[in-house]
Amino acid sequence: MIVLGHQNPDCDSLCSAIALSALFNKIGKQATPALQGEPNPEALFLLQKAKLEKPKILSSVAGEDVFLVDFSDWGQGTLDMKEAKILGIVDHHKLGDITTNEPVECWIWPVGCSATIVYNMYKFYNQIVDGPIAKLMMGAIISDTVNFRGPTTTDMDKEAVKGLAKIAGVEDVQGFAREQFEAKSDINNVPAAELILRDQKIFQMAGHKLAIGQLELTDLKTALSKKTQMIAELEKLQAEKDYHSSILLLTDINKLDTIALIISIDADKVAQALNSKVKDHTFELPGVVSRKKQIIPFLQTAFDS
Ligand SMILES: [Mn+2]
């Protein structure tokens, strides 16, 4: 069985794929983790910290048995995923559009991170997480919950990190988080074209496609200095694809605010849905850090009405 994370691999899709596949191997089910593309710099940082190898990268799963982590949408899988047998899903996003012909094992909980669910699966199966993997899972939860400051955070996430830090032998969790956030904020030498795609997800809304990327940064100085190039890249993307909107969220994880860059056929509609106003392809979202909880539901409502 292949344990597969979503496109544009982030910490959670990488770490949870590795952790879940290790759990399956412990209980006698053969499993291998796999990614769809290169992991982002923060995920690579965690792999290095844990001294673990990067999983294989796949673009096809036709004919395979797969277990999905951190997504439940066809659009976030490989192009041929409908030709695979989906055995199960671990996810913490809104329920996607995947359906199956046979019963499927679902672990879909409204918590801050898929790794929190996987941590509880270890408990369910009476298994202990290996030290290096505990470090990965801890990092994934810190990333997804913005170190417990994001609105998706639950007590279960906090409890999981406490347990995992003990197993991983990490005493200074705050220091660990700081180092991790610095790794992802280092965008000085990253081209704008790459930045707009780094954590991009495509959302279907009333027949439209919205491409929404997000950069989580310790401050927005460097990102804003690249604003013109990033808007130009969003414009290029918009011309190539048939998106309704191409958006990049620049999220300040210290101040817990977001500035959005947008190219759209109706930018006002998007900004209004989020109680904001567009000026020069830009709009501000004070207090917003979570795409899945503070942005997508409001856009969905606006597009559905
Ligand atoms: Mn996640």
- 77-87 pLDDT, tens per residue? 999 999 999 99
For residue 3, the CA-to-ligand 1 centroid distance in Å is 15
For residue 12, the CA-to-ligand 1 centroid distance in Å is 5
How many structural domains is the chain composed of? Answer: 2
Q: Do 34 and 153 reside in the same domain of the chain?
A: yes
Q: Do 283 and 202 reside in the same domain of the chain?
A: yes
Q: Do 109 and 19 reside in the same domain of the chain?
A: yes
Reduce the DSSP state of residue 84 to 3 states and report it: coil
pLDDT for the residue numbered 305: 86
Residue ending a domain, among 136, 166, 183, is 183
Enumerate residues 6+ apart whose C-beta is below 8 A from 301.
Answer: 273
152, 126 contact by CB (below 8 A): no
| Structural domain range at position 254 | 192-304
- 287-302 pLDDT, tens per residue? 999 999 999 999 999 9
CATH number at residue 173: 3.90.1640.10
Q: Strands, E, within the chain: which ranges?
A: 2-7, 32-36, 56-57, 65-69, 85-91, 105-108, 201-205, 208-217, 245-252, 257-264, 282-285
- 33-54 pLDDT, tens per residue? 999 999 999 999 999 999 999 9
Taking the CA atoms of the chain, what radius of gyration do you get in angstroms?
19
CATH number at residue 273: 3.10.310.20
For residue 125, the CA-to-ligand 1 centroid distance in Å is 22
For residue 114, the CA-to-ligand 1 centroid distance in Å is 5
CB-side exposure of 64: number of CA atoms within 13 Å?
A: 21
The alpha-helical segments, DSSP class H, found in 73-150 are 114-124, 131-144
Separation of alpha carbons 67 and 155, rounded Å: 26
pTM above 0.75, yes or no: yes
For residue 144, the CA-to-ligand 1 centroid distance in Å is 6
